[in-house]
């Protein structure tokens, strides 16, 4: 079975080695996450961009990946990295404090943080025996949920915030009712896994649980791999808009003389060709024309952003996931809310 992991940080480094060739090389942050679904999508992006750049400039470019779990590049040496795609927006916010990391000029202000998006859905067993249709069903007694720990997993934070947002949207929704809702949902989680890979193994390989909270693209890949006879995807009525950001490391690109190709790579992700690639890998494309072609693959639902509901990732992290935050209090001091 393919390994599934949490959203990774991808970096593309282009170094001009001669007048006739631009060759990309990478820092080796990790060699353990190459089977991630996003890696395969970027493989296709890279092949298409190499052809595009060759046609446009006559210059051959070679691209490889550097990968890591969210947050690791913040502690790693980022010299030479030109382009990064990051799942949690507060990661680039922290990197920007180094004055060596910037958004592309055309992304200011930020109308679209990513050329593709995803959301949180439910993966259930074939036939949906527990009749799970929406977030409120996850709070019912007798439902066993599989997810990872929001303290250690970026994916789990998306799921947690999606559930919180659903609770707030309900009639008379408030922080108090959201807390009670989250308590019920996590009360149905028997074991909090460390990360997405562990959650998938528990649900898919070990056959435990009724519902797996997971990114939409990974849910599709699991169903595809198992021929659609073991699992089903349930799209809730309301969920979170997951937007991996795409940014340029400004100093590295400028010093290496590769800013033009780095910016061209980011721009290319918004082209029809790249949008089609994203859709084929089960990410929701931004382009409306490509999205229309894949409308059967991506059921419509109401989506909210982290900025709209929580004031941004930094605020959400500090309130919900920091030590002593709401999630800690729900887990260990639930009586404090009564």
CA separation for the pair 134, 121 (Å, rounded): 9
Range of the domain at 14: 9-115+243-293
Residue 256 lies in a domain: yes
Instruction: Read off the CATH number of the domain in which 20 is found.
Output: 3.40.190.10
Same domain, 200 and 248: no
Same domain, 127 and 225: yes
Residue 275 lies in a domain: yes
Residue 1 lies in a domain: no
Residue 288 lies in a domain: yes
Entry pTM: 0.80
CA separation for the pair 315, 47 (Å, rounded): 38
Contact between residue 164 and residue 178 where contact means Cβ atoms under 8 Å apart: yes
Same domain, 190 and 278: no
Same domain, 261 and 284: yes
Residue 97 lies in a domain: yes
Same domain, 232 and 250: no
Same domain, 162 and 225: yes
Handedness of CA 53, 55, 61, 65 (dihedral sign): positive
Residue 225 lies in a domain: yes
Residue 2 lies in a domain: no
Report pLDDT for 59: 80
Contact between residue 163 and residue 185 where contact means Cβ atoms under 8 Å apart: yes
Strands 66-68 and 145-148: unpaired
Number of domains in the chain: 2
Same domain, 233 and 248: no
Which H helix or E strand runs over 314?
Answer: helix 313-316
Same domain, 100 and 236: no
Residue 3 lies in a domain: no
Same domain, 31 and 88: yes
Same domain, 214 and 184: yes
Q: How far is CA 5 from the centre of its chain?
A: 10
Same domain, 255 and 236: no
Name the token pair of 180: 């009670």
Same domain, 207 and 63: no
Q: What is the mean pLDDT of each run of 10 residues along the chain (338 residues)?
A: 37 29 26 53 88 87 60 39 48 48 41 79 97 97 95 91 97 93 94 89 95 95 89 97 71 54 83 96 95 96 95 92 94 51
């Amino acid at each position: 079975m393919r390994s599934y992991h949490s959203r990774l940080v991808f970096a593309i480094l282009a170094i001009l080695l001669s007048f006739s060739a631009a060759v990309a090389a990478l820092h080796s942050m990790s060699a353990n996450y190459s089977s991630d679904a996003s890696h395969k999508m970027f493989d296709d992006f890279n092949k298409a961009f190499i052809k595009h750049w060759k046609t446009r400039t006559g210059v051959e470019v070679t691209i490889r990946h550097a990968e890591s779990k969210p947050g690791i590049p913040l502690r790693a040496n980022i010299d030479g990295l030109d382009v990064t795609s990051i799942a949690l927006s507060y990661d680039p916010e922290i990197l920007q404090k180094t004055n060596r990391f910037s958004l592309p000029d055309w992304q200011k202000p930020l109308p679209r943080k990513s050329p593709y998006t995803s959301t949180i859905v439910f993966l259930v067993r074939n036939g949906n025996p527990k009749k799970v249709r929406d977030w409120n069903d996850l709070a019912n007694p007798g439902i066993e949920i599989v997810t990872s720990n929001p303290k250690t997993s970026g994916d789990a934070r998306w799921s947690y915030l999606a559930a919180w947002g659903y609770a707030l949207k309900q009639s008379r929704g408030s922080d108090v009712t959201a807390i009670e809702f989250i308590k019920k949902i996590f009360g149905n989680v028997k074991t909090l896994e460390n990360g997405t890979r562990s959650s998938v193994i528990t649900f898919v390989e070990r056959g435990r649980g009724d519902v797996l909270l997971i990114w939409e693209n990974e849910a599709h890949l699991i169903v595809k791999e198992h021929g659609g006879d073991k699992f089903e995807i349930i799209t809730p009525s309301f969920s979170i808009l997951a937007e991996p950001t795409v940014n340029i490391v400004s100093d590295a690109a400028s010093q290496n003389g590769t800013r033009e190709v780095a910016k061209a790579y980011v721009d290319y992700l918004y082209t029809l060709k790249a949008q089609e690639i994203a859709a084929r890998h089960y990410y929701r494309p931004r382009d409306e024309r490509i999205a229309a072609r894949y409308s059967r693959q991506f059921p419509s639902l109401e989506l909210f952003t982290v900025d709209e509901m929580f004031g941004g990732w930094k605020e959400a992290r500090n309130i919900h996931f920091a030590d002593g935050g709401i999630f800690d209090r729900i887990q260990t001091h639930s009586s404090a809310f009564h």
